[in-house]
């Protein structure tokens, strides 16, 4: 017994000693050589690990700091992270000095388990290759027409699903339904696969969606967790869950790729391939480096762009319409007038089929309302780059090689020095001039990124959001199930509504 007690004591003391050594080394790496107090560098507002204390309200905390300090620093082990809401700094890192800033090794290490070497996570020649190919694919009329057809089909399904809840007078989670709808759409456009998560018949698809969303949240947690690499090495806690989730994702995606490759091999080569995966598979015949793992990474990157960003934005859009019922009615009236469905209740399929490109172009107020939603609730609330060399930002603050420079999209949308004193008010009219939508600088409205890496799917996103919004607002009025509930976000790479968005739908009488 004494021997066992001695061994346990020795083990505990050894562990305690290692903990103190680790903590000491961490403190040294956090504070040594960081030029704290030097006015050449942005003021320090803590360390990256201090974000643990306000993680659940992270983006609001950044907003409060940015109101008095447009640029500030957080110290990390061996590096600093600069956070900025200064539009000149944003243009500097994303355009003017694009070559000096890249996706750094830290971001790559944090994200690679989920996103691999897809377009959002890579630099250099690999990024250029994917960007060039994707840019070509997104410019084709075939893909545009195919995607719009998928958007219309799923919008009609969505109306029918919500009709069921409306007829039974029960609340439903709008975010969950919209996520299923956008997942069905991106799988149709991306893979050429009818997933049918919206109809509830795809158990594997729903498991895939849950695994992807859970992984998204765990990757975000890595940014503030000093022990994530240790957890990953010994496979415990959230890192063990991430490993399981990634296996679910990989198995599903690789199975789809395998089936798609086999189907294409059995078809005639003259058939025009519409979905993105088919077109990439055809391209892979010319380039042996485009193996199944490469295709998996590309598709998952497209998926977060096509599912999360659109699904999240639509969720916040309907939340804001519920909070501002007069704006909701104004958008609905524009839908009725643009589609000329003044009398009676239209047939769902006929109504959706008649949402043409010309009709979408007329929807200036809807476009402004979606854009105003993105201003306050950007799909990616924080994004950034890593300095490849020493630099000085336009606001005068120095950046050291290896430092991260992050622009705070969520905070920027709420800054009076960018948008005026009414910055925190939901006002679609700020985007209109004589009733016509007027865009702002992409370095001010940063929701679709800017510069050479600006989002290729911007027009696709707006088309899908408009088609879905028009279909739903033509047939229903929406209200919050609980007006007293505090609706906020769940901290992830993309801006999800925390704990869903319970709504009720009331049929429109005309």
Q: What is the CATH number of the domain that holds 55?
A: 3.30.43.20
Mean pLDDT score of the chain: 87
Q: Which of 357, 388, 412 is the last residue of a domain?
A: 412
Domain of residue 455: give its range: 116-378+413-507
Find the radius of gyration of the CA atoms of the chain: 24
pLDDT at 31 over 70: no
The DSSP call for residue 72 is: E
Minimum mean pLDDT range among 208-217, 280-289, 451-460: 280-289
133: how many CB neighbours lie within 10 A of its CB?
18
Distance CA 437, CA 435 (A): 7
Q: Are residues 386 and 359 in the same domain?
A: no
Res. 166 pLDDT band, cuts 50 70 90? very high
Res. 342 pLDDT band, cuts 50 70 90? low
What is the predicted pLDDT for the residue at 76? 87
Q: Are residues 220 and 360 in the same domain?
A: yes
Percent of the chain topping pLDDT 90: 56
Long-range contacts of 453-458 (CB under 8 A, 24+ apart): 453/94, 453/127, 453/131, 455/305, 456/131, 456/134, 456/135, 456/138, 457/138, 457/302, 457/305, 457/306
pLDDT digits (tens, 9 = 90+) for 66-81: 999 999 999 988 888 9
The DSSP call for residue 396 is: S
What is the predicted pLDDT for the residue at 27? 53
Residue 387: is it exposed, middle or buried by C-beta count within 10 angstroms (0-12/13-18/19+)? buried
Residue 397: is it exposed, middle or buried by C-beta count within 10 angstroms (0-12/13-18/19+)? buried
Minimum mean pLDDT range among 289-303, 423-437, 455-469: 289-303
What is the predicted pLDDT for the residue at 506? 95
Q: Are residues 351 and 437 in the same domain?
A: yes
Distance CA 194, CA 257 (A): 14
Give domain status of residue 85, yes or no.
Answer: yes
Q: Which two tokens stand for residue 319?
A: 């939340």
Q: Which two tokens stand for residue 403?
A: 């430092």
Residue 138: is it exposed, middle or buried by C-beta count within 10 angstroms (0-12/13-18/19+)? middle
> In sequence order, which ranges of 266-401 are alpha helices (DSSP H)?
276-284, 292-303, 309-323, 325-339, 348-353, 357-362, 364-376
Q: Are residues 198 and 220 in the same domain?
A: yes
pLDDT digits (tens, 9 = 90+) for 44-57: 998 988 899 999 99
pLDDT digits (tens, 9 = 90+) for 171-202: 999 999 999 999 888 888 877 778 888 877 67
pLDDT digits (tens, 9 = 90+) for 472-489: 999 999 999 999 999 999
How open is the CA angle 43-46-49, to the nearest 5 degrees? 145
Q: Are residues 274 and 336 in the same domain?
A: yes
**Mean pLDDT of the region 277-302:** 79
Give domain status of residue 10, yes or no.
Answer: no
Q: Are residues 467 and 396 in the same domain?
A: no
User: If residue 250 lies in a helix (H) or strand (E), which one and from where to where?
Assistant: helix 237-265
Q: Are residues 157 and 40 in the same domain?
A: no
Q: Are residues 67 and 148 in the same domain?
A: no
Q: Give the chain's domain count.
A: 2
CATH number, domain of 250, equals 1.10.630.10
DSSP bridge pairs for 47: 75
pLDDT at 21 over 60: no
Minimum mean pLDDT range among 229-243, 398-412, 454-468: 454-468
How open is the CA angle 495-107-35, to the nearest 5 degrees? 105
Give domain status of residue 180, yes or no.
Answer: yes
What is the predicted pLDDT for the residue at 108? 85
Q: Are residues 123 and 252 in the same domain?
A: yes
Q: Are residues 484 and 347 in the same domain?
A: yes
What is the predicted pLDDT for the residue at 258? 85
Give domain status of residue 17, yes or no.
Answer: no
What is the predicted pLDDT for the residue at 6? 62
Q: Which of 412, 433, 465 is the last residue of a domain?
A: 412
pLDDT digits (tens, 9 = 90+) for 319-328: 999 999 999 9
Give the burial string for 444-475 (b: 16+ CB within 10 Å, else e). bbbbbbbbebebbbbebbbbbbbbbbbbbbbb
Q: Are residues 268 and 386 in the same domain?
A: no
pLDDT at 270 over 60: no
Q: Do 197 and 203 touch, CB atoms closer than 8 A?
A: no
What is the predicted pLDDT for the residue at 9? 61
Q: Which of 412, 428, 462 is the last residue of a domain?
A: 412
Greater model confidence, 125 or 321: 321
What is the predicted pLDDT for the residue at 344? 60
Give domain status of residue 457, yes or no.
Answer: yes
pLDDT at 274 over 70: no
**Mean pLDDT of the region 371-392:** 96
Give domain status of residue 354, yes or no.
Answer: yes
pLDDT at 58 over 50: yes
Q: Are residues 395 and 355 in the same domain?
A: no
Give domain status of residue 6, yes or no.
Answer: no
Give domain status of residue 135, yes or no.
Answer: yes
Res. 7 pLDDT band, cuts 50 70 90? low
């Amino acid at each position: 017994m004494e021997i066992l007690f001695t061994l346990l004591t020795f083990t505990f003391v050894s562990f305690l000693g290692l903990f103190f050594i680790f903590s000491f080394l961490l403190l040294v790496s956090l504070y040594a050589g960081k030029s704290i107090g030097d006015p050449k560098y942005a003021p320090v507002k803590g360390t990256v690990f201090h974000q643990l204390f306000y993680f659940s309200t992270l983006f609001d905390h950044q907003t409060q700091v940015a109101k008095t300090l447009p640029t500030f620093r957080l110290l990390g082990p061996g590096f600093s992270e600069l956070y900025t809401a200064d539009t000149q700094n944003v243009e500097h890192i994303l355009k003017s000095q694009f070559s000096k800033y890249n996706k750094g090794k830290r971001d790559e290490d944090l994200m690679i388990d989920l996103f691999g070497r897809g377009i959002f996570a890579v630099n250099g020649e690999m990024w250029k290759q994917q960007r060039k190919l994707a840019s070509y694919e997104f410019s084709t009329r075939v893909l545009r027409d195919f995607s719009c057809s998928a958007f219309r089909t799923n919008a009609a399904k969505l109306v029918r699903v919500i009709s069921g809840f409306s007829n039974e007078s029960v609340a439903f989670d709008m975010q969950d339904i919209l996520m299923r709808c956008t997942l069905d759409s991106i799988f149709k456009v991306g893979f050429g696969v009818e997933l049918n998560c919206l109809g509830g018949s795809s158990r594997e698809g729903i498991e895939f969606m849950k695994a992807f969303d859970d992984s998204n949240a765990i990757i975000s947690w890595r940014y503030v967790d000093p022990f994530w690499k240790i957890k990953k090495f010994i496979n415990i806690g959230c890192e063990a869950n991430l490993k399981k989730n990634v296996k679910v994702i990989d198995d599903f995606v690789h199975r789809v790729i395998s089936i798609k490759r086999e189907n294409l091999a059995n078809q005639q080569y003259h058939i025009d391939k519409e979905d993105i995966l088919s077109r990439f598979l055809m391209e892979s015949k010319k380039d042996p480096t485009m193996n199944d793992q490469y295709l998996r990474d590309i598709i998952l990157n497209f998926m977060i762009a096509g599912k999360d960003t659109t699904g999240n934005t639509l969720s916040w859009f309907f939340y804001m319409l519920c909070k501002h019922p007069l704006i909701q009615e104004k958008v609905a009236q524009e839908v009725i007038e643009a589609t000329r469905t003044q009398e009676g209740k239209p047939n769902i399929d006929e109504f959706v089929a008649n949402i043409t490109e010309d009709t979408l172009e007329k929807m200036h107020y809807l476009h402004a309302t979606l854009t105003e939603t993105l201003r306050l609730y950007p799909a990616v609330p924080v994004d950034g780059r890593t300095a490849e060399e020493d630099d000085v930002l336009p606001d005068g603050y120095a950046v050291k090689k290896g430092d991260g420079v992050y622009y705070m999209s969520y905070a920027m949308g709420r800054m009076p020095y960018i948008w005026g004193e009414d910055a925190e008010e939901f006002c679609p009219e700020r985007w209109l001039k004589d009733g016509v939508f007027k865009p702002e600088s992409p370095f001010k409205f940063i929701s679709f990124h800017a510069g050479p890496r600006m989002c290729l799917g911007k027009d696709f996103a707006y088309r899908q959001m408009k088609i879905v919004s028009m279909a739903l607002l033509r047939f229903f009025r929406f209200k919050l199930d609980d007006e007293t509930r505090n609706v906020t976000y769940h901290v992830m790479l993309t801006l999800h509504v925390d704990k869903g968005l319970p709504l009720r739908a009331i049929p429109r009488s005309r």
